[in-house]
A and B are shown apart, each in its own frame.
Chain A
Amino acid sequence: MALIHLSSPHVSKANSTARVMRLVLLATLPAVLALTFFFGWGSLIQIFLACTFALIFEACALYLRQRSLRFFLSDGSALVTALLLALAIPPMAPWWITAVGMFSAIVIAKHLYGGLGQNPFNPAMVAYALLLISFPVEMTQWNAPFVLIGDSWQALPSLSQTLAIIFNSSQALALDAYTGATPLEVLKHKGSLTTEEIWRSSDVLNQGVFAWYGVSAAWLMGGIFLIYRKIMTWHAPLSMLVTLFILASLFYGGDPSNFADPFVHLGVGATMMGAFFIATDPVSGATSNKGKVVFGIGLGILIYVIRTWGNYPDAVAFAVLLMNLSAPFIDQYTQPRSYGHKHSSPTRGGHR
């Protein structure tokens, strides 16, 4: 018979953290396919590496913290972090980049702060920022999409070549044949040329950019899927994209020769991934719908500012970390107005 102190409700929706994580994994599928299509085997190998390291580190951390391994490993959160990091780093990056990245993501950014749900910063972005600052060379060597170096997918390094590049750094020379700058880097280092001139002179821009657009479109598809499945709300991604678009339009409209056009901002770099898979991270983001909008706007502004005037070509990781820092503050001032209250309640310190 039933227990006494069983509190209502007595039914619950068939829903679990693991299911949420599985759906997020599923939603990255288009991006995985697009990256593989345009950049070769690298991404798949990185995903495999990252997932392996993630599970190992997660298991070690759980063991040291004396938590139930089976229960916490099955929630799938480590795999999501692994997948996002693997898709954010260059596909041909050496294996130890992934290892260091996963260590800092799982052990430092997540478990040192108390495990799932307690981390103030997005683990994948902590790892990415750390890698970018520590290993700028490895982290900016994207191999060129096949559209730049050949007619078809065959032009990309084969599976064995890719494995050799990733696992044997002495063959890094071989990589040179395939690497090139990303569109954002080209734009960043355009020097005295106008936007129009560099656009015309750079193959990366006038041909390669479509590969990046393709990847962004794939991320967008995944994001829309997640919003459709109500895994997340539209607030943060939309406000971030709209802010970025408006800012880029304003500057591009004011001075088209010096600033990139808004579609480039939306279509290249990690914008779409950031908008739908990073900005929507519930643990490290703002809580209320209003807060999510503010969070997204902040992201949009920071991404544009760092991309345009900062030192690094892309800015999503830094922008996300900065906004993670301000999330508690945003939460405190964007509490929803509760039923029957004239104003949202006086803010007395939120819990993080």
Chain B
Amino acid sequence: MSSILIAIVVLLVLASVFGIILGFAAVRFRVEGDPIVEQIDALLPQTQCGQCGYPGCKPYAQAIADGDAINKCPPGGQSTIDALADLLDVDAIPLDAEHGEEKPKTVAYIREDECIGCTKCIQACPVDAILGAAKQMHTVIVSECTGCDLCVEPCPVDCIDMIPLPVTPANWKWPAPVSDPSLILTDRGRGQLLQGASQ
């Protein structure tokens, strides 16, 4: 009987000692990390385009932190989803087509002779990348434009085009070497091959 009592007492003492240590450690060594919202926001492309259904990147970051899906950002594309999955330690899922498709990077271009100077696009631009005044021609500051196409819709005369960024020697990227597909069929390629055969 006494041995049981001793065991209980010992366990209780141990539990309280460790509890105190853990409690102390929790207070003493608290990590003041970046709030998760900031970290998520840092991974988003900051186009502020609202394609995710939120009024900007920060609100979407907040929504992700609150448990929303991570695949609602078309401008960021798969690489952003992968980065988010990595940060949040969840599975990377394909982009939700409902919110748009991943498109090549574009910039807005105003056909200046058609611009009537209504300033509607200026008000729509989330990053102040359009220059102009009322009844004056507007123009896009290319280096600041995020390609969100929020300015296209409000334009009453439809004079804004989203044009893909031109490839110049300065921003040209080396392509990955292509391996002969007949030599190295990846498992993914093989699956497609089999699917193709069955259809």
Contacts and interface: CB of A to CB of B under 8 A. Distances in A.
Q: Do the two chains touch directly in the complex (Cβ atoms below 8 Å apart)?
A: yes
Interface of A: 5, 7, 65-68, 71-72
Interface residues of B, number: 9
A7 B174 contact: yes
A268 B177 CA distance: 48
14 contacts: A5-B174, A5-B175, A7-B174, A7-B177, A65-B185, A66-B185, A66-B190, A66-B193, A67-B183, A67-B184, A67-B185, A68-B182, A71-B183, A72-B183
A68 B185 CA distance: 9
A258 B177 CA distance: 60
B175 A68 contact: no
Contacts, number: 15
- Main SS class of interface, A: loop
Contacts of B183: 67-68, 71-72
Contacts of B193: 66
Nearest to B178: A5
B182 to A, nearest CB: 6
Contacts of A67: 183-185
A71 B183 CA distance: 7
Contacts of B184: 67
B168 to A, nearest CB: 15
A68 B174 CA distance: 28
Interface in B147-199: 174-175, 177, 182-185, 190, 193
A67 B184 CA distance: 6
B83 to A, nearest CB: 17
A7 B178 CA distance: 12
A352 B174 CA distance: 26
A71 B179 CA distance: 13
B172 to A, nearest CB: 10
B6 to A, nearest CB: 44
A197 to B, nearest CB: 59
Contacts of B185: 65-67
Nearest to B182: A68
